[in-house]
Amino acid sequence: MLDYENHPKLAFYAHKMVFQPVLAGSKNVDIAYGPNDEIPVIVLNLGKARTVDVVVQAKNMDGKILDKIIFEAVELPDGKGLINLGDWKPDLPEKGYYGFEYLVLPGSSGMTE
């Protein structure tokens, strides 16, 4: 997962991310969205029950946040499960390239892992 110059590659970050106990993302496997598409936001839990906030941010290629949505106090049940948080249609200029960042933060009851 490291190249010959010792730089981490995409697989390094993918493996690091996928083994977290809580993971948020899009339920849609598309990596490109059109101007009328909505993003189906989900959160996955593996382990104990917890309360989290999920923040989804749309950023331009300079890292500037152009739009965001916050799902507060999301109750994740004990065990392994998926919660559909809803669809989000970010308000973005029609043309351009954007990145989407999903953050899972401690909620009102706190996230201890």
- CATH number of the domain residue 67 falls in: 2.60.40
Q: What ranges in the chain are assigned the alpha helix state H?
A: 10-18
Residue recorded with tokens 């909505």 = 38
The verdict on residue 6 lying in a domain is: no
DSSP 8: B
Residue 11 lies in a domain: no
Amino acid 3: pLDDT: 66
Work out how many domains the chain is built from and give that number.
1
- Burial of 52 from C-beta contacts in 10 A (0-12 / 13-18 / 19+): buried
> Is residue 12 a part of any domain in this protein?
no
108 has a pLDDT exceeding 70: no
Q: Is residue 52 part of a domain?
A: yes
Tokens standing for residue 80: 């392994």
Q: How many CA atoms lie within 13 A of 24 on its CB side?
A: 23
Q: Is residue 96 part of a domain?
A: yes
- Is 105 in contact with 51 (CB distance < 8 Å)? no
- Residue 59: domain span: 22-106
In a domain, residue 48? The reply is yes
Model confidence pLDDT, tens digit, residues 37-76: 899 999 999 889 999 999 999 999 999 999 999 999 999 9
Q: Of 94, 96, 102, which Cα lies nearest the Cα of 55?
A: 102
Q: Above 80 in pLDDT, residue 2?
A: no
pLDDT of residue 8: 67
Whole-model pTM: value is 0.79
Does residue 43 lie within any of the structural domains?
yes
pLDDT in tens, 3-31: 667 766 667 667 676 778 898 999 987 77
